[in-house]
């Protein structure tokens, strides 16, 4: 972010004259003065200059993920001169990496690991692992993968203490 921050800021100043840079200590000071809880949503309200704004009912978490593995072939070449593929098939039992699924308990998550046996590693975007080795027969597909995964968390934050 070193050089990019200033290039981004200068370009933003050309578009919007009242743009400014916020520092972490100002958000903390504003949060403490208004008696707000230390959460990312409260810090965002403090940074924008409206700490007592009514918070949303939901928080959206996003994560950018890769499309495919970059390494196409194994590093070692076999004796016959053929290179082995390093990539696994796109689909395993009808699911691909980062598909959004629902587990048997009704929890929603993303496929972070696939196995040819049919069991999957399902996680939420914050890294929370859902029960390990869930069978493909017990999963329900909610949506296909995209390069930006979005998860909605329903909650009600207190506006101030």
Instruction: Name the token pair of 52.
Output: 């007592």
Distance between CA 22 and CA 97 in Å, rounded?
A: 37
Q: pLDDT value at position 98? A: 94
Instruction: Name the token pair of 109.
Output: 């998550």
Give residues with Cβ within 8 angstroms of 133, minimum separation 6. 119, 120, 121
Instruction: Tell me whether residue 42 is exposed, middle or buried, using C-beta atoms within 10 angstroms of its C-beta: 0 to 12, 13 to 18, 19 or more.
Output: buried
Per-residue DSSP letter, 138: G
- DSSP H helices in 16-117: 24-33, 40-48
| Predicted confidence (pLDDT) at residue 64 exceeds the cutoff of 90 | yes
The verdict on pTM exceeding 0.85 is: no
| Predicted confidence (pLDDT) at residue 159 exceeds the cutoff of 70 | no
Task: Choose among 57, 24, 21: nearest CA to 159.
Answer: 57
Could you report the per-residue pLDDT of 94-125, keeping only the tens digit for each?
A: 999 999 999 998 999 999 988 888 899 999 99
Instruction: Name the average pLDDT for the chain.
Output: 86
């Amino acid at each position: 972010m070193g050089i990019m921050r200033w290039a981004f800021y200068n370009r933003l100043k050309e578009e919007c004259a009242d743009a400014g840079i916020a520092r972490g200590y100002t958000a903390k000071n504003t949060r403490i003065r208004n008696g707000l809880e230390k959460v990312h949503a409260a810090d965002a309200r403090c940074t924008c200059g409206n700490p007592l704004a009514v918070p949303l009912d939901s928080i959206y978490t996003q994560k950018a993920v890769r499309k495919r593995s970059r390494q196409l072939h194994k590093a070692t070449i076999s004796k016959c001169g053929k290179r082995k593929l390093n990539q696994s098939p796109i689909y395993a039992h009808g699911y691909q990496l980062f598909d959004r699924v629902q587990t048997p308990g009704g929890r929603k998550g993303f496929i972070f690991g696939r196995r040819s046996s049919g069991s999957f590693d399902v996680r939420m975007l914050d890294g929370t692992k859902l029960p390990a080795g869930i069978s493909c027969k017990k999963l329900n597909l909610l949506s296909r993968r995209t390069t930006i995964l979005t998860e909605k968390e329903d909650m009600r934050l207190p506006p101030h203490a």
